[in-house]
Structure 1
Amino acid sequence: MSSWLPSLITETPEQGYELAVKLSRVAVKMTQPDAEARERMRPEYAESSDALIAVSQVVATHFATIAAANGYWRDAS
C-alpha cells in the first residue's frame, strides 16, 4: 500500500512549506469528507480575515514540524 505521506523529509525549505500546506489541506478533507459541503463553506472563510489567519497558523505549525524533521535544512558536514 502506498502512503500519501511517505516522509516529512524534503530537499528544500520551499518543498517543506508546500508539504505543510498539503498537510493542512488533507486535514480539512479528512475532517469534512463531503466535497459539496466544503464548497458551500468556502465563501464564508474566503472573506474572513480570522479564518485566513487561522489557516496560516495551522500551516506554520505543520511547517515547524517539517523543519524540525529536516534538521532545519542545515548541512551536517
Structure 2
Amino acid sequence: MDEIRLQDVVQMRKTHPCGSDQWTVIRIGADIKIKCLGCGRIVMMERADFVRRRKKVLTQGPVPEAETLRDISQRQ
C-alpha cells in the first residue's frame, strides 16, 4: 500500500458527475477526506475504500516534517 500524504493529487477510477477524476487529499486519518479539483465537492471515505477506488497518484504532497517533543516544549 502506498503512503498517503496531505495535498496528494490522485486520479480515481470513476469520474465525478462534474466530469473530473482528479482529487486532492485534504485530511488523513482513519477516514480520508478528498476535494474534487473540478467542482470543489468534498467527500469523506474510509481509508480502505479510498485505496481501492484510487487509480494512481498524479502528484505527491510534501513530506511531513517530523516534530519532536523538544520542538513542542520550546513553543510553550
Q: Same fold (TM over 0.5)?
A: no
TM-score bracket, normalised by the shorter chain, equals under 0.3
The higher relative CO (CA closer than 8 Å, separation ≥ 6) is in 1
> Which structure carries more strand by proportion?
2
TM-score by length of 1: 0.24
Greater helix share, 1 or 2? 1
